[in-house]
Chain A
Amino acid sequence: MWRLRTVGHKARGPGIRSEEFKLKRREREKVLRQARRDRHLVSKRLLLHDYDEEEGDEEHTRASVKPASSEQVVEIMCKLQTGGEDKATALRSLRNVLRSPEVHVAFIRLENSVPVLVGLLSGSDAQCRVEAAKCLHQLSHSPCPNVGLACLPATPYLLTYLSGQRGKFTELCLYTLGNLCAESEPVRERLQAQGIVMALVSCIQNHGGSLAVLEAVAFTLSQLLQAREGASKVAPLVLTLGLIPHLVAGLTPDPEFGIGAAIECAWCLHYLASCEVDKSELISQGVVSRCSSLLITLEETVAQGDLQEGLELLIWPLVRCLGNLLASSACENTEECVRDTRVLSALCGFSHRVLQMHPALTKETLWVVNNLTADSPAWCSALLSFGLLPGLLQLLPLSLGINCMVLRIVGNVAHKGSVFSLMLTQGGLLPPLCATLKMADPEVVTLSLEVLYLLVTSSQQAGEEFVKQNGQSVLEMIQYSSDEALRQRAAAIVDLLPQAAADER
């Protein structure tokens, strides 16, 4: 049920060796990080058609190995234009040739090539229509931006076909559109003018039951939403056109289909929750409760030792969506927004389970715990009564900002009053806190001092315990720091410590 079914768009063949794959992945990762910094993080998806199975995979691999030349393109286009012959066959060979990205540019430069292709896409021959769409899909995956632009004349037809009945063909059109969306702002503007969001809504309505179509719709939508102008132009439309219930319904992993559709829906919801729009619509449509209940279910599954590859692809956006909705002004009261307290245990559970593979996800789950506990004594006492404190304290020595988040969380708890502070002290917070006071990161030291201050001002026992831990020497040392803000804080706490106990030393 939780497996990430490798649907048709998994281009990774078994032939690729793992070392080679790792190298490629590492290079790609570097490029992606740079792209993200440049705010142009886009990805395209290549659908390896299930149709290909009919033709046999052998032919397919052979074709991709054979270097395609632009002469071949000219030849095929001649055949297509002169008419006669079997156009569908010609289109099939065109698609094979187009598997080499180098040919894409040659193709669009060829006079009349795109109009001919669009003519076949819009023609009455059903088979030609499908083959032309596949050719366009290949073109839409091109790394060259000009190719995408050249395909624009096809978009009205692709959008029209979304309301068709045939699932596979609809998917093909959707992924092609999704790839084109990724290209550039002018393309997205054009598509929006042609009503792409509305077309996506009616597409989901027409293909109510199909998770594959839902996945494709959500993929295309996520491409629109994550674009720079997505927040201002697309998100409001998505909220008003009634897509949210479909996305929420999509957050249901299917035993047959796997979690692919849920992943895409969850990312769409994350993009919506992380931009500056009115979140009340999202909350009233039940996004918070759906996200949290799915997280609880997922954690239970993972706790049973059933951690499937790729599950983090679903956990990640759910966590983010929850975190941002809890922080929004639309969420007046976190206790009312999230009614199931098990979500707290689930989040803390994830923070440990994903730590080795995805420490960044650990930090994000802790961020959500921070948002839950910030204004709510109820969540703070849940944290303590569920016995989640020891697990959090284990994370205190870790870097990558994890310790800061944990300190914020214990700070939230300590801030709720002396009973809470006392429980933190009794829960063993002071020994690890003495260690974080010695850390290099000034932010960690600052937060540690803040937490310590909350503890010693609200309970006598904390001060005594801290002195017992030989914590005073750490504070004295901080008073010799070059950072004035740290010195002030440390000096203030030293004055608060129980003097009798301090003098005994």
Chain B
Amino acid sequence: MLHCDPAEPEGDVSGSPVDSVRVRGTSSPFTFTPRRIQILGDHELFEDGDIHRHLYLQDLFATVTEDSPTPKVSEFRCHIAGCSLMFSSLDGYEQHYSTLHQHVCSTCRRCFPSRHLLDIHILEWHDSFFQVMAEKQSMYQCLVEGCPSKFSSSNERKDHLIRTHSYPPDFRFDRPRKNKRPKRRKGVVHTDLMDTSEEGAADSGTVLDSWATTHHTHHCEQRQSHPADTGTPTQYSRRVPSSVCFGQGSVRGFRGRREKK
């Protein structure tokens, strides 16, 4: 039989925060136990009803629709630490998440619009065997998903993209790797999450807007290659501190999942 602790008769409706503190350190972080809740007369849960009664007593009660606090759908928040943006709809939230947090490289924290591009990025940028292998055989995969072509250099691939797939010459997710950069970038504030180009670092803060513009310009091409990516996340131009490792994508880096925890 579970009753509210008589010592705190207010009936802790909110419950859990207190519980979680109390139990921390024990084996399980889970604290939920069903309990009947007693609520004393002056608890805030009773406020609206009390007010309604007193309006009735004062002859001011009425069914005034416009004043009633119609229930709202709860807000959603991006749980990624350092992001914490709020969204009034689940759609808006999911759009934000897939744009900024879904395909993220765990090593350099660049964010990609598709898993395919992220995989290619990880392979070409962070796989130490890649360069060695690339000298022996064609290793540069075409960026268009489903196209089996492979090339011996990124320039060759670029030509292929332009000629075969009508890609723009400055396709944003096909920046060649510059040898020094990853090292220099370590510990440096990453101003360009999306952009892998050097000029991207200059327009910090508006990086996503600029990305969105490019994205718009080459909308058709991108559609072809990444049918899943249709969003234009202009409203979420917010940068995430570099100290933060985030996103589902990050677990697919070369560091192991366990290690990350």
Contacts and interface: CB of A to CB of B under 8 A. Distances in A.
A and B together in one complex: yes
B238 to A, nearest CB: 15
A62 interface: no
A30 to B, nearest CB: 10
A36 B13 contact: no
A336 interface: no
Interface centre among B42, B71, B245 (most CB of A within 10 A): B71
Contacts, number: 247
A327 B24 CA distance: 27
Contacts of A334: 36
B79 A478 contact: yes
Interface stretch (B53-61, B117-125, B163-171, B217-225): B53-61
B244 interface: yes
Given A320-B49, A440-B76, A443-B17, A275 B40 contact: yes
B50 A36 contact: yes
B132 interface: no
A412 interface: yes
Give the dominant DSSP class at A's interface.
helix
B203 interface: no
B173 interface: no
B34 A356 contact: no
A386 interface: no
Interface string B234-258: 0000000000111110010000000
Interface in B74-96: 74-82, 84, 86, 90, 93
B179 interface: no
Interface string B1-44: 11110100101011111001100100011111111111111100
Contacts of A43: 54, 57-58
Given A271-B41, A327-B39, 5 more contacts: A329-B6, A400-B69, A440-B86, A477-B101, A488-B29
Interface stretch (A5-13, A66-74, A117-125, A282-290): A5-13
A481 B31 CA distance: 19
Contacts of B90: 435, 438
A442 B15 CA distance: 12
9 tightest A-B CB contacts, nearest first: A360-B48, A440-B77, A450-B32, A43-B57, A327-B38, A482-B81, A359-B71, A488-B29, A374-B34
Contacts of B70: 356, 359
Label chain B's interface by main secondary structure: loop
A310 B55 CA distance: 11
B73 interface: yes
B174 to A, nearest CB: 27
A476 B261 CA distance: 11
B32 A411 contact: yes
A374 B63 CA distance: 34
A360 B41 contact: no
A28 B58 contact: yes
Contacts of A454: 32
A140 interface: no
Given A312-B52, A327-B36, A399 B68 contact: no
A232 to B, nearest CB: 12
Contacts of B81: 480-482
Given A477-B79, A477-B97, A446 B20 contact: yes
Given A444-B74, A473-B248, A313 B53 contact: yes
A445 B73 contact: no
Given A26-B67, A45-B57, A275-B41, A489 B36 contact: no
Nearest to B76: A438
Contacts of A412: 34
Contacts of B63: 309, 357
Interface size range of chain A in the complex: 35 or more
Interface string A427-466: 0000000011011111111110111011000000000000
B49 A364 contact: yes
A323 interface: yes
Contacts of B73: 397-399
A343 to B, nearest CB: 15
B147 interface: no
Residue of B33, B49, B70 contacting most chain A CB atoms (<10 Å): B49
A469 to B, nearest CB: 13
A254 interface: no
Contact of A25 (B39, B48, B60, B93): B60
B259 interface: no
A294 to B, nearest CB: 17
Given A375-B1, A412-B34, A36 B47 contact: yes
B228 interface: no
B60 A24 contact: yes
A481 B40 contact: no
B65 interface: yes
Contacts of B17: 442-443, 446, 485
A22 interface: yes
Nearest to B67: A26
B130 interface: no
A42 to B, nearest CB: 8
Contact of B52 (A323, A358, A446): A358
Given A45-B57, A492-B29, A399 B39 contact: no
A468 interface: no
B188 interface: no
